[in-house]
Amino acid sequence: MKKSLVIGGIAAIFVGAGYLTVVAQPRAEEGSPQLIEISAKKYEFTPNAIHVKQGTKVELKVHSEDETHGVKLELYPEGATDKSKPGLVFDQPDANGKVSKGVDQVLDFTAAAPGTYNFKCAKICGMGHGKMKGQVIVDPS
């Protein structure tokens, strides 16, 4: 069963079995980043799949609900053979995967190339740590 819900410029689509996808909508203010928030808790991210349009500036904010978690995003889309230019261009590349206890992780990047970019938990959090994954899907503009 599929349900849709629109909240503050973000369309969320619930797709069976507990999966949640967020589709970032363009902001009225040109040049402002699209804020996307992710909750992290043992051993899941909510949402675990995020859609944005190519060219979108994104501010990804990760909030840990139980202990320290964060995300490490792949710079290149799944299956990419050309590694000359990353598909996700970070304002501060050193922040990708860097997590501080008690502080939300904030990553600013531009979704430069279409594709599926995997992310995983950036801090070992227990036995299910390896299952704590998600995706940023950049759709062509």
What is d(CA 34, CA 10) in angstroms, rounded to the nearest whole number?
9
pLDDT (tens digit per residue) in 58-85? 999 999 999 888 899 999 999 999 999 9
Q: Name the residue with higher pLDDT: 51 or 16.
A: 51
Fold exhibited by the domain 28-139: Immunoglobulin-like (2.60.40)
What are the sequence ranges of the domains in the chain?
28-139
Cα distances from 131 to residues 48, 72, 106, 120, 127, in angstroms, run 11, 14, 22, 8, 9
Element (H, E) at 51: strand 49-53
Question: 83 Cβ partners below 8 Å, 6+ apart?
Answer: 76
- In DSSP notation, 85-98 reads S-SEEESSGGGTT-
- The chain-wide mean pLDDT, for the chain, equals 83
**Does the global pTM surpass 0.75?**
yes
Q: Which pLDDT score is estimated for 125?
A: 85
Closest CA to 111 of 84, 136, 82: 136
Q: How many CB atoms lie within 10 A of CB 12?
A: 14
